[in-house]
Amino acid sequence: MRLARTSTCILVLMISAASVSQKTQQADRVVVIKSQHTMTLYSHGTAIKTYKVALGRGGLAPKEKSGDNLTPEGTYILDAKKTNSRFHLAFHVSYPNNADKDRAKKLGVNPGGDVEVHGVQNGLGLLGSIQHDFDWTEGCIALSNSEIDEFARLVPIGTPIEIKH
């Protein structure tokens, strides 16, 4: 009887510890590899989750100007959760950075803005994971709605995001 109680206590402690570690593990860095259509979340240098993503429908070149439908490349910050988005949930990316602004100025163009990591457009959630089988955004990084919900639990505001070719 005593052995059974001790075993039960140990099991409860192990489950509790696993639950706590899963709840507290958050990303401290996000890396998007456009050519692979992946976004990986890292915690202390270890990959904790990788998603397949949809990107801007303009192709894989780096964003140069407003309206080009290209996803930018560079290092940014996920600086806000957008509450007024037309998408299920959206995180604002701090594009353009200084390098983007300088490049746009040299080209004589507006660098654009309003780049996000977001879910599917409101009302189209049934698309689910099909949404990342083709590039459809205006330069953003898109996940399914269930994935962006998970992303929101794992990635705090202020996390750096690096977008590479």
Task: Tell me whether residue 36 is in a domain.
Answer: yes
Number of residues in the chain: 165
CA 125: distance to chain centroid? 17
Total of domains in the chain: 1
Does 12 map to a domain? no
On whether residue 3 sits in a domain, the answer given is no
Q: Which residues span the domain enclosing 121?
A: 26-164
**Per the omega criterion (within 30 degrees of 0), is the bond before 96 cis?**
yes
The CATH number assigned to the domain holding 41 equals: 2.40.440.10
**Nearest Cα residue to 56 out of 138, 116, 142, 117:** 138
Is the residue at 106 inside a domain? Answer: yes
Does a structural domain hold residue 17? Answer: no
Residue 16, domain member (yes or no): no
Decide the pairing of beta strands 90-93 and 29-33: unpaired
Asked if residue 40 is part of any domain, the answer here is: yes
Is residue 30 within 8 A of residue 159, CB to CB? The reply is yes
Kindly state whether residue 21 falls inside one of the protein's structural domains: no
Per-residue pLDDT of the chain (165 residues; tens, 9 = 90+): 555 554 444 444 454 444 444 455 999 999 999 999 999 999 999 999 999 999 999 999 999 999 999 999 999 999 999 878 888 899 999 999 999 999 999 999 999 999 999 999 865 555 656 677 899 999 999 999 999 999 999 999 999 999 999
